[in-house]
Amino acid sequence: MHHRRALSVFLIASSLLTGCQTAPPPAPRPAAFIPLGLGAAYLNTDVIGGTRARAVKMRAAKIRPLSPAAVPAYMADLDRELRQQTAGIGLDVLNLGSSIVIRIPAAFTFDAGSAAVKATTDATLLEIARTVKTRSQTFVDVLAHTDTTGTPEGNKTLSDKRAAAVAAYLAGHGVSKARIASRGLGEAAPLYNPDTTEIEKAANRRIEIRLVPYRG
C-alpha cells in the first residue's frame, strides 16, 4: 500500500511538471495593460468597410442578425466564454460596451519582421477561432499594430500583412469569410507614445480581434 501511494504521488508530480514545461508563458506586459486604449478612437468607430457593406455579405451568407433585445445577453455570454478560454495565457479580453476586443501581443503570433503565424501559437488562435466561429452573429475585425521601430511606411505594410494573415487563419478554421475584414494600423495607434522601453514597445506590437454584434 505504501509503495502504491508513493508511486501515485510520483506520477501526479511528473504530470504537473510536464504540464508546466509545455504551457506557454504569459507575455510580458505592463501592470496597467488591460485598461490601456479602451477609449481609442479606432476601437470606437464603425466596422472596417462600413456596417452596410458588411451586412450585405452577412445576408448573402445567410447569417441572421441579432434582435436589439438579444444583443446584451449574446455579447455577455461571448465575453464570459472568451475570458475563460484566455485566462492565464497573456491575452486580454476587453469589453468596450458596443464590442469585445481580444488583444494579443504580437510576440505571441509573429516573429520579428515576419507576417507568418507562429506554429507554436497555433493552439491559442485555434481556441479563439472555435469560439468566434460559433458566435456567428458578429462582425469580425482583425487589426494589427507595430511599435515605432522602423519607418511608418514599412510598419504599415507589415501590419497589413499580419492582419491579413490572422484573418486568413480564422477563415481557414471555420469562421465565415463574410464576417471578416482586416486592417493594419502600423504605428498610428500606440498604447504608449512614445514607446521608449522594450515593455512599452512589446505592448504596442499587438493583434486585436474586434467582435461587433450584427444587429437587425
If you average pLDDT over residues 176-205, what whole number do you get?
A: 90
Reading the block at residue 149, the C-alpha cell is: 521601430
Instruction: Please indicate, yes or no, whether the overall pTM of this predicted structure exceeds 0.75.
Output: yes
- 138-145, strands of its sheet edge to edge: 92-95, 100-105, 206-213, 138-145, 180-186
Domains detected in the chain: 28-213 (3.30.1330.60)
Place of cell 445576408: 59
Q: Where is pLDDT greater, at 54 or 122?
A: 54
Rg (CA), the chain: 19
Question: Which tens digit of pLDDT belongs to each residue from 20-55?
Answer: 444 445 555 555 455 566 778 889 899 999 999 999
- Residues 6 or more apart from 154 whose CB is under 8 A from it? none
Give the type of residue at 31: A
Say how far apart CA 12 and CA 216 lie, in whole Å.
52
Question: Which tens digit of pLDDT belongs to each residue from 137-175?
Answer: 999 999 999 999 999 999 999 999 999 999 999 999 999
Percent of the chain residues topping a pLDDT of 90: 55
pLDDT at 121 over 80: no
Question: Which tens digit of pLDDT belongs to each residue from 87-98?
Answer: 888 788 999 989
Say how far apart CA 163 and CA 190 lie, in whole Å.
16
Among the listed residues 134, 129, 73, the one whose alpha carbon sits nearest the alpha carbon of residue 102: 129
Say how far apart CA 74 and CA 76 lie, in whole Å.
6
